Structure 1
């Protein structure tokens, strides 16, 4: 999205939520100046946090990442969340994270390298100082009950849930209430939907394919406004759309979306 569209998207989020929930704006950009402009805009309009990837071309060492985040953090007051996605950008190692959290307004980290060892190392190095969120609903129940995590930052809740049927929220609330056995049952009920997500989103992504076309089609099928993709991303084919629709029907998600239950 162009810069102005991204700024407008931040504004629309604020208008739609009307203060009901905290908001985090994605202000990633290859250019530190553009990332700063997006972050300042998020701060100025009232977003609660901004999340940033490391630069996806220019940063090829720890020092460059440190300087990138320092440049932005020194010029804003909004809380900043690190986004570790080694499949797309320079990785944030536990050692680098320990250096980054010395920057006062860095307060959280989205851990998206899908490596349990890295997560445990991050927990050891910075878990007492910032909030860590593993960007994977598959391990959310485990991370809540075993690691004490209380923050899930990922795309799946809006794809797995429909009005009147919020299983991720349900089992999260049950864990917080101490009803672990009930929470485990609700979590287990999502296995078929997780399998569909693995097939259409995660496995292609891990093989280096952009999956926005499948994601947007999924959203439209359950009643959201997915919209078309833009170049260089390509849409999925008609036959793929039919296959995705069949998979979502098989796991019962389309029926729940249509019924609103």
Structure 2
């Protein structure tokens, strides 16, 4: 675990590779229960079978908004226990976003005590007074904890920090060392790097890596939180091989590999089911049911209740069919 003082030096060396954002397997009526055995299997699969070096816990794909504080704490504890039993050096990242600063503080303190390496705070989902409100939120947490902190700038919050606002948080709060820029606005990430050049940035828009932004130091060699385990299998680790080419700076080879392996076509075939609900197409979401259905196609356990907890909708048959076809076209399933 990196303390607040150590955070920035630690982040520049430790945050490397594919970071898996874990879903929450559910069971029982309306998904009221969590299938803990399935979750343990998922952690071991990501860290052991796939060899991915980072975990991203209790965030959007995990449907944190539908979980109790106790459930979120136990999910993190199990990820630490199972992940480090396979790889003692696995980096465990915890998202502690919550609807109140006090709940976020409780989760952040727990992550610190449980042995997480870094905590990410998503831009608050409740009413927030712009960057000033987000700054106050971060300061409240930082003043009461001693762990590395990251920003998670996602449109699902309803408010996205400007580059100047993100740079100010970095400048004024020493524990802040990294950011997941999830708004798909590369120009803003480039400006953020200009304003805070030592901040570790992951841009969710994958095209910037093909444009040489990693080589230029604008973005980092880590995927801080993605569903990389849904893009490959142990027998066909195409996503890891693609990422290794990107990190090595072999960009033309990486682009050829993505085309020839089917990864580029897979993005097209999958459509926008992971992040877009058709009934509200203007809103960015983490559709938990879509991620879990994709996992089930690959044979991963998702629990006896395959849907998301309310208020998310159930995944329609059209989405299920398109996801199945995408995996068959990619060759990851028969």
> What is the TM-score with the length of structure 1 in the denominator?
0.88
* Equivalent in the alignment of 2:243: 172
* Equivalent in the alignment of 1:15: 81
Instruction: Please give the secondary structure, in 1, of the residue aligned with 2:109.
Output: helix
Distance in 1, Cα, partners of 2:153 & 2:169? 12
Contact in 2 for aligned 1:119/1:134 (Cα 8 Å): yes
- Higher relative CO (CA 8 A, sep ≥ 6), structure 1 or 2? 2
Return 182-191 or 17-26, whichever deviates more: 182-191
Distance in 1, Cα, partners of 2:284 & 2:176? 31
Contact in 1 for aligned 2:151/2:178 (Cα 8 Å): yes
2:179 to 99, 102, 109: 109
Distance in 2, Cα, partners of 1:131 & 1:242? 38
1:222 and 2:295 aligned: no
* Equivalent in the alignment of 1:258: none
Aligned residues, how many?
A: 254
1:208 to 265, 278, 283: 283
Q: Alpha-carbon deviations, 1:145-184, whole Å to 9, x = none?
A: 4545312223231211211222232122234334444333
- The 1:2–1:241 alpha-carbon spacing in structure 2 relative to 1, beyond 3 Å, is same
Task: Point out where structure 2 has 5 or more consecutive residues left out of the alignment.
Answer: 1-66
* Equivalent in the alignment of 1:52: 121
Distance in 1, Cα, partners of 2:284 & 2:173? 34
1:72 to 126, 141, 144: 141
1:118 to 169, 188, 191: 188
After superposing on structure 2, the runs of 4+ consecutive aligned residues of structure 1 that deviate more than 6 Å are: none
Return 69-78 or 202-211, whichever deviates more: 202-211
- The 1:153–1:135 alpha-carbon spacing in structure 2 relative to 1, beyond 3 Å, is farther
- The 1:144–1:169 alpha-carbon spacing in structure 2 relative to 1, beyond 3 Å, is farther
Distance in 1, Cα, partners of 2:140 & 2:90? 28
| 1:135 CA displacement | 2.1
- The 1:37–1:252 alpha-carbon spacing in structure 2 relative to 1, beyond 3 Å, is same
Q: Alpha-carbon deviations, 1:179-234, whole Å to 9, x = none?
A: 44433322333101111333422454853274222221011111222343111112
Return 214-223 or 43-52, whichever deviates more: 214-223
1:40 and 2:109 aligned: yes
- The 1:40–1:99 alpha-carbon spacing in structure 2 relative to 1, beyond 3 Å, is same
Instruction: Please give the secondary structure, in 2, of the residue aligned with 1:109.
Output: strand
The structure whose residues are more often helix, as a share, is 1
1:130 and 2:199 aligned: yes
Distance in 2, Cα, partners of 1:144 & 1:4? 38
Return 117-126 or 199-208, whichever deviates more: 199-208
CA RMSD of aligned residues (A): 2.1
> What is the TM-score with the length of structure 2 in the denominator?
0.70
* Equivalent in the alignment of 1:163: 234
Return 192-201 or 10-19, whichever deviates more: 192-201
Contact in 2 for aligned 1:135/1:153 (Cα 8 Å): no
- The 1:240–1:115 alpha-carbon spacing in structure 2 relative to 1, beyond 3 Å, is closer
Distance in 2, Cα, partners of 1:157 & 1:105? 27
